[in-house]
């Protein structure tokens, strides 16, 4: 049975309790590490201390999150909360895609991996027509040209380039 306070709550309920609990745990973990990650320097003013402002920020995170949890009108995890948490986890799939891309670039090369990755990601997002695959491949080439040509980002050559003949290997390291 819902209390009067729960019935009057106007905001969305799903996921709030899980978010507040996970954020509070993360904040307390960060606060517990503040002495190992920052320093206190003798003969330095309070506001110039390397530990002061991080401690204020993380302490504020802990205080405000604990206050949010205390004022939350409901404290039961329901099915809607679990469905919301599954939606959050589903978003992590794209971070996993990116991590695989980052791990394979040094092995395969920037241009070949980008030409594989961008159309695969477009396919995963539901853009499956031949036109969209061509657009995504053209976008991949544009990205490589922009980063390597215009911005002059230096990306190390791939392991795969070692198996090319010398002239091709030099070209691949510089331009691909």
Task: Flag whether pLDDT at 71 surpasses 80.
Answer: yes
Q: How far is CA 18 from CA 14, 15, 65, 92, 113, in A?
A: 9, 5, 12, 17, 37
Check if the beta carbon of residue 77 is closer than 8 Å to that of residue 19.
no
Please tell me the distance from the alpha carbon of residue 87 to that of residue 118, in angstroms, as a whole number: 23
What's the pLDDT score for residue 2? 64
115 within 8 A of 141, measured Cβ to Cβ: yes
> Residue 142: is its pLDDT beyond 80?
yes
pLDDT band of 65, cuts 50, 70, 90: very high
Q: For the CA atoms of 52, 57, 62, 67, what is the dihedral angle to 10 degrees?
A: 120
Q: What phi and psi values does residue 31 have, to the nearest 5 degrees?
A: -65, -35
DSSP tag of 153: -
Give the pLDDT score at 37.
Answer: 87
Confidence band, pLDDT 50/70/90 cuts, at residue 72: confident
Q: What is the pLDDT of residues 31-42, one digit of tens each?
A: 999 999 888 888
Q: How does DSSP classify residue 79?
A: H
The whole-angstrom separation of Cα 57 and Cα 41 is: 19
Q: What percent of the chain lies above the pLDDT cut of 70?
A: 91
Model confidence over 89-116: pLDDT tens digits?
A: 888 999 999 999 999 999 998 889 999 9
Which range has the worst mean pLDDT, 13-17, 37-41, 85-89?
A: 13-17
Q: How far apart are CA 71 and CA 3, in angstroms?
A: 14
- Per the model's pLDDT, the better-predicted residue between 149 and 92 turns out to be 92
Q: Do 18 and 81 contact (CB within 8 A), yes or no?
A: yes
Asked whether residue 155 carries a pLDDT value surpassing 90, the answer given is: no
Average pLDDT for residues 18-28, to the nearest whole number?
Answer: 93
* % of the chain with per-residue pLDDT over 90: 47
Average pLDDT, the chain: 87
Categorize the per-residue pLDDT at 132 as very low, low, confident or very high, splitting at 50, 70 and 90.
Answer: very high
Give the Å distances, CA to CA, from 161 to 49, 156, 171: 49, 10, 10
Minimum mean pLDDT range among 87-96, 142-151, 166-175: 166-175
């Amino acid at each position: 049975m819902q209390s009067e306070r729960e019935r009057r709550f106007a905001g969305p309920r799903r996921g709030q309790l899980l978010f507040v609990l996970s954020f509070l745990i993360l904040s307390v973990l960060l606060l517990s590490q503040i002495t190992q990650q920052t320093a206190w320097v003798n003969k330095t003013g309070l506001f110039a201390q390397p530990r002061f402002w991080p401690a204020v920020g993380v302490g504020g995170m802990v205080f405000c999150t604990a206050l949010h949890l205390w004022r939350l009108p409901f404290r039961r995890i329901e099915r809607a909360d679990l469905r919301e948490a599954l939606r959050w986890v589903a978003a992590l799939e794209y971070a996993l895609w990116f991590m695989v891309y980052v791990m394979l670039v040094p092995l395969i090369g920037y241009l070949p991996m980008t030409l594989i990755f961008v159309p695969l990601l477009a396919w995963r997002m539901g853009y499956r027509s031949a036109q969209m695959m061509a657009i995504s491949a053209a976008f991949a080439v544009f990205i490589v040209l922009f980063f390597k040509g215009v911005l002059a980002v230096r990306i190390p050559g791939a392991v795969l380039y070692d198996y090319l003949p010398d002239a091709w290997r030099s070209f691949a390291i510089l331009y691909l």
